Amino acid sequence: MKIQEICSSVTDGSHNPPQGVTESEYLMLSSKNIFDDNITFVDPRYLCKEDFDMEDRRTCIQAGDVLLTIVGTVGRCAVVPERAPKFTLQRSVAVLHPRVDICNSRFLMYALQGKRRYIEGRAKGVAQKGIYLGEVANIEVPIPEKSIQATIITHLDKIASIIHKRQQQLSALDDLIKARFVEMFGDETYIRMPLDSLSQGKGEYGAQSASEAYDPNRPRYVRITDINDDGTLNNDFVSSSNHEDDKQYKLYYGDFLFARMGATVGKTYAYKNGNQIYAGYLIRYKLNLEKILPEYLFAYTKTDEYVNWVHLNQSGAAQPGINAKKYGSLEIPVAPIDEQKAFVRFVTQVGKSKTAIQKSLDEAQLLFDSLRQEYFG
């Protein structure tokens, strides 16, 4: 059946959002607040009551409605939960009102998640891709009997719960590392040294081009978007495209990368292993391992002190950035190397637990994806 047959209405949020006020109880969300099976209320736009009432007449969001991101990162989908605060939306999110006699809301959410590639393929635009409401309304979804829908929801909910718990465990271990760093090194008694003096030379900018596909016989091309917040790399592989880059930009243990441009300015990556080169929007520092260890420096870049430094030192309105000269002046509290090594041993032990949990998470995610493919094609 088509979405327009499954739902009593399909609309999107405001195409001309009101200016907003400093703070109020009247919220307007956008696609940045909508994730798979999760709606966040962080950093909303606040409206006055008059503007909210006007926008609410358009979306009329109720518990059980299904939200679908249709501009920017298209295809993320969630169900509005019971007891959610009242909110309205910008046009980057579509609101689907399922007919309860035909389709369970969570079934529709999972079905649309299973259609992610199709939805992404229908999105158009250059600067920011989007999919029209007419396209959304015509998406075909297999709708079995309600009893079968309930069984499918139960299966997927159980696996989704396991995935969520494993993600929480990984996050807790990351928090444990941060807490241990503050406990060991947060008393402000250590000498501070600029990054340049802790490195073998100045910061170096990376390679400017990559191939469009991954060749396992060539180095992996590490971009800002490949780096996760916990310092790991995602699975979006591309390769270097220039043989001359393979040597000049090759990463070795002790190499530390800082993101220099855009919304991710300040993000960091401590190279561990693998055949990798780094991209042009990253700056490499070859650390002097007799003075500072990459694991220690990475933990420092997760502290509030470093985050505040990035906020104060980035420049540029449209495209914020921090250049190599500015990063080189970053003053870092440097503990004795033996204390750093003790911290690294602790991080290594925690890392073993993270590896086991990540393996379980990957297995659960693989099962979830395969079942969703089986159910929804």
- For residue range 275-327, list pLDDT tens digits in order: 999 988 999 999 999 999 999 999 999 999 999 999 999 887 677 889 999 99
Whether the per-residue pLDDT at 188 is higher than 80: the answer is no
Q: What is the mean pLDDT of residues 199-220?
A: 85
pLDDT confidence of residue 158:
97
Whether the per-residue pLDDT at 71 is higher than 80: the answer is yes
Q: Which residues of 24-45 are buried (b: 16+ CB within 10 A; e: fewer)?
A: eebbbbbbbbbeebebeeeebb
CB 251 within 8 A of CB 275: no
pLDDT confidence of residue 61:
94
CB 190 within 8 A of CB 333: yes
pLDDT confidence of residue 287:
97
CB 94 within 8 A of CB 11: yes
Q: What is the mean pLDDT of residues 257-275?
A: 91
pLDDT confidence of residue 4:
94
Whether the per-residue pLDDT at 164 is higher than 90: the answer is yes
219 — pLDDT class (breaks 50, 70, 90): confident
Whether the per-residue pLDDT at 66 is higher than 80: the answer is yes
Half-sphere exposure of 2 (CA within 13 A, CB side): 10
Out of 47-51, 96-100, 108-112, 182-186, least confident range: 182-186
Paired tokens of 366? 């693989």
Q: What is the mean pLDDT of residues 218-232?
A: 89
β-bridge mates for residue 35, sequence order: 38
Question: Which comes out higher in pLDDT, residue 215 or 9?
Answer: 9
Q: Count of H helices and E strands in the chain?
A: 11, 17
Whether the per-residue pLDDT at 209 is higher than 80: the answer is no
Question: Which comes out higher in pLDDT, residue 67 or 376?
Answer: 67
Cα–Cα dist 163/170, whole Å: 11
DSSP characters over 134-165:
HHHHT-B-----HHHHHHHHHHHHHHHHHHHH
Strands (E), the chain: 7-12, 26-29, 34-35, 38-39, 45-47, 66-69, 77-79, 87-89, 93-98, 192-194, 204-205, 220-222, 255-259, 268-270, 276-278, 282-286, 331-333
Sequence-distant (≥ 6) Cβ neighbours of residue 290 within 8 angstroms = 337
Cα–Cα dist 364/162, whole Å: 7
pLDDT confidence of residue 377:
72
pLDDT confidence of residue 127:
73
Q: What is the mean pLDDT of residues 121-144?
A: 89
Spatial CA neighbour of 284 closest among 328, 233, 332: 328
Paired tokens of 48? 């006055």
pLDDT confidence of residue 73:
87
108 — pLDDT class (breaks 50, 70, 90): very high
117 — pLDDT class (breaks 50, 70, 90): confident
pLDDT confidence of residue 167:
95
Whether the per-residue pLDDT at 240 is higher than 80: the answer is no
In tens, the pLDDT along 30-44 reads 999 999 999 999 999
pLDDT confidence of residue 346:
96
pLDDT confidence of residue 163:
96
Whether the per-residue pLDDT at 211 is higher than 80: the answer is no
